Amino acid sequence: GENVEQHPSTLSVQEGDSAVIKCTYSDSASNYFPWYKQELGKRPQLIIDIRSNVGEKKDQRIAVTLNKTAKHFSLHITETQPEDSAVYFCAARGSNYQLIWGAGTKLIIKP
Amino acid sequence: DAGITQSPRHKVTETGTPVTLRCHQTENHRYMYWYRQDPGHGLRLIHYSYGVKDTDKGEVSDGYSVSRSKTEDFLLTLESATSSQTSVYFCAISAIMGREVSTDTQYFGPGTRLTVL
């Protein structure tokens, strides 16, 4: 079945350093890949997304890259700040307008 | 927040009782989803709807039913609650009725924390 694998499950980085989270998807027909951030006790919120017709998208300190051949996509956060601490989820569009979700990455920013 | 509300926000109930959670949206979105979120499992789709009276099962639908009699309301019912259904439940929406845009992007409600004793 359709599957999205997300790594690592926990990532700890020094404030100011970069963080990279990687996801691999199984359905070669997937063409939409969003990333969500979820702070403790809050709802998941979309932070960036990418479609299969582009290889990279940036929004200030956040970027997403997509490699369709290898079926993986990554979230890059530069110059990390304490407010970046959260759980991050990747997803890939599957059939019937559903999103197939990764299991999440807990990002810890060390002061 | 895409005009999504969920009620109740917190509920404690006993095993074997029926429970209904409500998702309400004010912006005429076509697609609505119910997820549960548990530690280590991320977000798992329970049921979804692509229009009034049009619903389908997700990956963890056993023990749950849904109804959508109006565009704005999507109800999730636990027919006989069990302790394994203790979770945080999120409703989500995508797309706008009559305009087939953003069918992929999902926006979430604030969530309902359900505890089954």
Q: Yes or no: say if B42 and A102 are a contact pair by the CB < 8 Å rule.
A: yes
B86: exposed, middle or buried (C-beta count within 10 Å: 0-12, 13-18, 19+)?
middle
Assess A101–B contact: CB distance below 8 Å, yes or no. Answer: yes
pLDDT per residue as tens digits for the range A4-43: 999 999 999 999 999 999 999 998 889 899 999 999 999 9
Report the pLDDT value the prediction gives residue A2, as an integer from 0 to 100.
80
Q: What is the pLDDT along chain B (117 residues), one digit of tens a residue?
A: 668 999 999 999 999 999 999 999 998 888 899 999 998 778 999 999 988 999 999 989 999 999 999 999 999 999 999 999 999 999 999 865 455 555 678 999 999 999 999
The candidate with the shortest Cα–Cα distance to A74, out of A2, A4, A24, is: A24
Q: Which of A32, A43, A49 sits opposite B108 (nearest CB)?
A: A43
Q: Give CA–CA dist A48/A33, Å, rounded.
A: 9
> Which of residues A93 and B66 earns the better pLDDT score?
B66
Report the pLDDT value the prediction gives residue B2, as an integer from 0 to 100.
67
CA dihedral sign, ordered B50, A2, B90, B11: positive
Which residue on chain A is closest to B103 by alpha carbon?
A: A97
Q: Which of A44, A102, A103 sits opposite B108 (nearest CB)?
A: A44
CB–CB of B42 and A97 under 8 A?
no
Q: Give CA–CA dist B30/A92, Å, rounded.
A: 20
Q: How many Å lie between the alpha carbon of A97 and the closest alpha carbon of chain B?
A: 6
The candidate with the shortest Cα–Cα distance to B80, out of B12, B36, B8, B14, is: B14
